[in-house]
Amino acid sequence: MQLYIDTASESDVREFATYGIIDGVTTNPSLVASEGISYRETIERLSAVTDGPVFAQVISSDADSMVTEGRAYDGWGENVVIKIPATPAGYEALTRLRADGIQAGITVLFSIPQAILAAKNDATFVAPYVGRLDDAGENGLEVVTGIQEAFDTYGFETEVLAASVRTRTQTTSLYRAGVDAITLPPATLADQFTHHKTDEGLEGFEADWGDRANPLEDN
Ligand code: E4P
């Protein structure tokens, strides 16, 4: 199971890397734009602070330009994975980039058929958007588990990367479903460390220990 952080912030990646819980970084154009530095510098910085993959999305909408962008991004780090939107031109770009041996997959994806077409094209991953499906009154979890089941049935190796995951409830359901990979924004990731009973338990231990000496000073 892979757990990614959904951010373009180098300091977020540095922080969560220290906890030992992240396998890589996903970005999107909105996240990169919010950093206020060039796309290339953002991806280079993120690649320098993680050993895992850094996902970078193409901006263009025609296949030739997407391929040109994808080839360039591929040189911006040791382990850059190209995200391509689910459009006909995107599928063409995907097949061309995969033929070059570049890691690439389909994002902004909302259905099982879109995922199957990507897997047929040897996509490295597909990124279904759970939260945005829920926002639209659909069931994001059902779409993700349907994709996972179909891939297992057909024997596709394409990774299912659940994206647009914003809550602990969504994340818990995805964990229970055994999805291949999940990307979470920093706040959602941080929330997973906590439980009110943990805080309550620690308060009790602290109160019972009182002002006794630190164990290492009490010889
Ligand atoms: C995927 O990688 C996207 O960056 C992201 O998960 C979108 O999430 P949002 O729908 O909360 O913007």
CA distance 93 to 108: 15
The average pLDDT across 149-166 equals 98
Q: Is 171 near ligand 1, meaning CB less than 6 Å away?
A: no
Q: What is the pLDDT of residues 31-56, one digit of tens each?
A: 999 999 999 999 999 999 999 999 99
Whether residue 132 has its Cβ less than 6 Å from ligand 1: yes
Q: Distance between CA 116 and CA 139 in Å, rounded?
A: 18
Of all protein residues, the one whose alpha carbon is nearest to atom 9 of ligand 1 is 164
46 CB-side CA count, 13 A: 36
- Rounded-to-integer distance, Cα 173 and Cα 183, Å: 14
SS3 57: strand
pLDDT at 66: 98
DSSP classification of residue 34: T
Crossing angle of the two packed helices 88-99 and 112-120, in degrees rounded to 10: 30
Among residues 10, 63, 77, 83, the one annotated as catalytic is 83
Residue 219: band (very low, low, confident or very high) from pLDDT cuts 50, 70, 90: low
Q: Please name the residue whose Cα sits nearest to atom 12 of ligand 1.
A: 164
- Report pLDDT digits (tens) over 177-194: 999 999 999 999 999 999
Mutate to test the pocket of ligand 1, among 55, 129, 132, 174 (most ligand atoms within 8 A of CB): 129
Return d(Cα 145, Cα 131) in angstroms, integer.
14
Q: Tens of pLDDT along 95-135? A: 999 999 999 999 999 999 999 999 999 999 999 999 999 99
Q: Residue 30: pLDDT above 70?
A: yes
Ligand 1 closest atom vs CA 6: 4
Q: Which phi and psi angles does 182 have, rounded to 5°?
A: -135, 140
- Report whether residue 183 contacts ligand 1, using a CB cutoff of 6 Å: yes
Q: Is the dihedral of CA 172, 174, 178, 183 positive or negative?
A: negative
**Cβ of residue 6 lying under 6 Å from some atom of ligand 1:** yes
Side-chain half-sphere of 152: how many Cα atoms within 13 Å?
A: 10
Tokens for 95, please give them: 């097949």
In this prediction, residue 194 carries a pLDDT of 96
- Whether 83 is catalytic: yes
pLDDT of residue 202: 98
Residue that is written with structure tokens 């892979």 in the block:
2
Q: Whose CA is nearest to atom 8 of ligand 1?
A: 164
Contact 117, 111 (CB under 8 A): no
DSSP string, 90-145: HHHHHHHHHHTT--EEEEEE-SHHHHHHHHHTT-SEEEEBHHHHHHTTS-HHHHHH
pLDDT in the model for residue 218: 78
Q: Of all atoms in ligand 1, which is nearest to the CA of residue 131?
A: 10
